[in-house]
Structure formats: C-alpha cells, structure tokens
Amino acid sequence: MSVTSIDKDLDGLSLTLVADFDAPMERVWQLWADPRQLERWWGPPSHPATVEQHDLTPDGDVTYFMTGPEGDRSRGWWRVTSVDPPSSLEFTDGFADQDGTPLEDMPATTVRMRLTEQDGSTRMELRSAFESREQMQQLLDMGMTEGLQQAVGQMDALLGG
Amino acid sequence: MVVSEPSDARVDGLFHALADATRRDILRRSARGTLSVSRLAEAYPMSFAAVQKHVAVLERAGLVTKERHGREQLVRTDPDAVDGARQALDELELAWRGRVDRMSDVLAHDAGAGDDTPTRGRGR
C-alpha cells in the first residue's frame, strides 16, 4: 500500500500527502537518511538522482543532480530547516547551477515530512508547498515555455510556416 | 499544458490565431519573456499598427495578455492564475506519487531480497 490520500490547497499552494508503508518507522526513515537509498526513489526513472553532499542536521545541505536521457545533468539542493530522527524532517528544495551553487532566484518548494508507526507499519505525512505564487508561476512558465515552443514548432512544420 | 474542454468558438479562435506565421513567431517570442509591442514591431517588416493587430488576434484567442506599462504595451503569454496553481499542484502531485511508489518498491525489494524475514515472503 502506498498513497492513502492527497489534498491540494489552491490558495495555500500546497499539497498534503499521506502514505502508509508496510515497514517499521526506522526503515522508512532510512529512505531519507541514507543517500544511497534516497537515490533510488528521488528522481523519476528517466532522471535518476545522484546524491553528493548529504547532511541531515539543522542548516545542513543535501546536494544532488539528476541525469537525463541525453546525459544532461540538472542540479538541486536541500537546506535542512528542522530534523528529528527518525520521525521528522523539514527542508527547502531548490535548483542549483552546474557548480552546485543554489540559485536563490529560482523557485523553491518547502517540504515537511513526519513519520508515525503503528503495529509495525509506518504512516508518512508530507506537505510540499511553493514558497510564493511568483515562484510557482515561474516554475510553470519554465515548463510551459518548453511545451509551447514544442507545440508551436510542430505547427510550423505542419503548416509549412 | 492542461487545457479544459474548449468550446468550438474558442478552438476556431485558436486556429485562426495560429494560422499565421507572424503570429506564431510573436507567440514564441513572448513565451520567452515579456516583450513590448514596439520591440516586436522592430522584428518584422511591417508597421507598428500591423503588429498591434496581430497581437490583438492572439489576445482575443487567449494566448497572450497585453498590459500597459508607462508608454509601452507589454505582451506576455498568460496562463490563468487559478489554472496555473492547479497545474503546478498537479505536477507536484505527480512527482510525489511517483516518489512514494518508488519508496514502496525499494522497501518491498529490500524486504524480499534481504535476510529472509519470515513475515515477508519473496512472492509479494
């Protein structure tokens, strides 16, 4: 069993997800706390993640890159704002440049994760939120620009324009 | 892009707007960032008024918005703000659903492949 519920708050620009895992809490915590395990689920299969720095302490940094099908790398970072092993973790997740330096003007999301255990299974409650409407829009525009360029390019081809 | 069921009139407007190479070019340029109509006019061998007409067609089709900024008219592609929030959260949802699925896979894989815990069989 995995995702139990998902709530989206359009005004708060946030997503709240509840998932139940058939594993003890300490085991689920390791998915976050062990960089080699984190790599196995953070990126989609098309863009697997490689975790470099991994410091889950207050103000600690996690740095990673995701490798795309063309071998292209996009870099990201977490800044840990609060951590209480093995039950809770809060961090900001953002973009970095090719050297791994955080791009402060690029959109970031905040993630709050909490684990509770009952009868040997673990509930994960996770809230992921955009920091501001501007940042959310920026993220969309980046994706949309790409999608739109592609669509218009196809139209040009179709219409001989 | 997430597009809700469009009406026939809207589709006609869209196709009309996109049936012109100049307008498609304007759309492409304004998708890269906000542009003023006068800057756009410099890019084409036509009058400012002609470019303005093309922008108006795109605007009626809902593909761009125009905004006055001092003496300049700025053009940009503008997904509706609420649809924008919904789309952004949908994308976030997809990303996290995928992650949770993979977390389950890692847990199941390790439970099956690790030391033989009697409570979790290999054939789950």
Over range B3-31, report the average pLDDT. 71
The pairing of beta strand A121-130 with beta strand B35-36? unpaired
Q: Which CATH number is B63's domain given?
A: 1.10.10.10
List C-alpha distances in Å: B93 to A7, A28, A115, B38, B86. Answer: 9, 20, 19, 41, 10
In a domain, A43, yes or no: yes
* Chain A residues inside the 8 Å CB shell of B92: 15, 109, 128
Quick: pLDDT tens for A8-28.
887 888 999 999 999 999 999
Is pLDDT of B106 > 80? yes
User: How many domains does chain A divide into?
Assistant: 1
Structure tokens belonging to residue B124: 């789950």
Which pLDDT band holds residue B1 (cuts at 50, 70, 90)? very low
What phi and psi, each to the nearest 5 degrees, are found at residue A146? -60, -45
In a domain, A137, yes or no: no
Same domain? For B30 and B63 the reply is yes
Same domain? For B15 and B70 the reply is yes
Q: What does the pLDDT read at residue A50?
A: 96
Q: What does the pLDDT read at residue A54?
A: 97
In a domain, A160, yes or no: no
Least confident of A35-49, B68-82, B89-103: B68-82
Least confident of A31-45, B25-39, B108-122: B108-122
With an 8 Å Cβ cutoff, the interface of chain B facing chain A consists of: 1, 18-21, 24, 27-28, 31-32, 77, 79, 81-82, 84-93, 95-107, 111, 120
pTM exceeding 0.95: no
Helix, strand, or coil here: B24? helix
In a domain, B3, yes or no: no
Q: What does the pLDDT read at residue B2?
A: 28
Same domain? For B59 and B88 the reply is no
How far is the C-alpha of B7 from the C-alpha of B92, rounded, in Å?
A: 28
Q: What does the pLDDT read at residue A112?
A: 97
Kindly report the CA angle at B66 between B63 and B67, in degrees rounded to 5? 145
In a domain, A18, yes or no: yes
Please give the residue range of the domain that contains residue B32: 8-77
Mean of the per-residue pLDDT values for chain A?
A: 86
Interface ipTM above 0.95: no
How far is the C-alpha of A129 from the C-alpha of A116, rounded, in Å?
A: 21
User: How many domains does chain B divide into?
Assistant: 2
Which pLDDT band holds residue A152 (cuts at 50, 70, 90)? low
Which pLDDT band holds residue A53 (cuts at 50, 70, 90)? very high
Please give the residue range of the domain that contains residue A27: 3-130
Binary contact (A10, B89; C-beta < 8 A): yes
Same domain? For B14 and B69 the reply is yes
* Chain B residues inside the 8 Å CB shell of A143: 91
DSSP class per residue in B58-72: HHHTTSEEEEEETTE
In a domain, A79, yes or no: yes
* Cβ-contact A4, A19 below 8 angstroms: yes
Binary contact (B31, A13; C-beta < 8 A): no
In a domain, B98, yes or no: yes
Higher pLDDT: B114 or B63? It is B63
Residues 6 or more apart whose Cβ sits within 8 Å of residue B106: A31, A37, A40, A41
3-state secondary structure chain A: CCEEEEEEECCCCEEEEEEEECCCHHHHHHHHHCHHHHCCCCCCCCCCEEEEEECCCCCCEEEEEEECCCCCEEEEEEEEEEEECCCEEEEEEEEECCCCCECCCCCCEEEEEEEEEECCEEEEEEEEEECCHHHHHHHHHHHHHHHHHHHHHHHHHHHCC
Q: Is A150 on the interface with B (CB under 8 A)?
A: no
Binary contact (A3, B88; C-beta < 8 A): no
* Cβ-contact A136, A9 below 8 angstroms: no
CA neighbor of B64 nearest in space, from B98, B106, B35, B95: B35
